[in-house]
Amino acid sequence: MNAKAAVFMGANVPFEVREFPVTPPPAGYAQMELIASGVCGTDLHIHGGKLEENAPAIIGHEFVGRITAADAAEAAAFGLAIGDTVIADIAVPCGECPLCQSGDDANCVNMGLTNGGDIEVAPHLYGGYTEVNYTPLTNLIKVPAGVDPTVAAAFACPGPTAIHAVRLAERANMDLSKMKVAVVQGLGPVGMFAVMYLKRLGIEKVYAITTGANTCRDEAARALGADRVFSLKAEGEAAVTAALQAENDGLGVDLCFEASGAPAAVAQGIDILRNRGVYLVPGQYSESGAVAIQPQLITFKALQILGSSQYSFPDVHDYVAFLAENPDLQPKIAALTAPYPIAQVNEAFTDAKAGKNIKTLLVK
């Protein structure tokens, strides 16, 4: 038996679709068959040369699959069994560095990955872009009954990413649930999830800002909870900034969540926040250039700015729990996905880079 995988061959080079033999899982590992694997913005940055990755490799880190083989006793020790639907979490914190010791293993300074194995050595298939995946049992999160696996795949990385940023704010004693006005910059997968998550936290007004004008995307954001979507192209940056500065009786917005990845968004985020406003910045995930800001605004407004680049195992648990607790969102999330067979990986990447899809998935 063989399994197809999309092999990354280098920056801006088409993927190669290869077949690999399916072998028994090593001790401590599960073998899983693909249900859906998301194309993350990180993967687009890798393929575009903005983030370094050795080639050839099987990239991807949003794998949702069904366990097909594992040592039964080993799996049971982690509450798992053959047939379970799981999300594969690639992060392996060291557990020993100062960050891990302080309970912040998402920012481990010696972070390892489960998808970095040599594709030429059995079992070959550690990454996400493959019909069969091998991941340590320690890194699998069971998808609850009642949660559509494809829905779970849609935000398998963006969801925990957004949740972790919120958790960091809570650790810094910032109670987001008491805020009245939030703005999400960007409506890619992270931004879309942030819109629905912030709204479900109880924030009264949740707005979004996009660069262009995409009616379908805007309607999807409103269906997920956005009270209004501002378009920089249609309305102009100055007008959008002025409208948001007028919130809270002219104080500005309480919270800004940067999910666009556009450096220029940071200056606007600082501008629209009220005094002691909170700026969560998980979206600036590649070297996309510099931008001028007015640093005195950070001082005079006493802004609270938090970067957040990773997520941890508990955040994935919180993500699937959120989906289970909000079943009405599942059909809306499913409508955001665009599935492609692994054999069509290059078409999937072309469409994702062109912004044709809100969430691109690779399926069997």
Q: What are 160's two structure tokens?
A: 């925990």
DSSP tag of 329: G
Q: Distance between CA atoms of 160 and 89, rounded to whole angstroms?
A: 10
Q: What are 228's two structure tokens?
A: 């209004």
Candidates 119, 153, 102, 106; CA nearest to 5 is 119
Candidates 90, 37, 46, 8; CA nearest to 353 is 46
Map tokens 């002219």 to a residue: 250
Residue 351: the pLDDT is: 97
Is the confidence at residue 288, as pLDDT, over 90?
no
What torsion, rounded to 10 degrees, do the Cα atoms 260, 198, 164, 299 define?
70
236-277: pLDDT as tens digits = 999 999 999 999 999 999 999 999 999 999 999 999 999 999
**What does the mean pLDDT of the chain come to?**
96
Residue 285: the pLDDT is: 85
Q: Distance between CA atoms of 356 and 158, rounded to whole angstroms?
A: 18
Q: Point out the least confidently predicted range of 28-37, 130-139, 167-176, 201-210.
A: 167-176
Is the confidence at residue 212, as pLDDT, over 90?
no
Residue 207: the pLDDT is: 98
Residue 90: the pLDDT is: 93
DSSP tag of 342: G
Residue 196: the pLDDT is: 98
Is the confidence at residue 116, as pLDDT, over 90?
no
Candidates 330, 219, 201; CA nearest to 257 is 201
Is the confidence at residue 177, as pLDDT, over 90?
no
Is the confidence at residue 213, as pLDDT, over 90?
no
DSSP tag of 128: S
9-24: pLDDT as tens digits = 999 999 999 999 999 9
Q: Please tell me the pTM assigned to this model.
A: 0.95
Give the mean model confidence (pLDDT) for residues 72-101: 97
Is the confidence at residue 66, as pLDDT, over 90?
yes
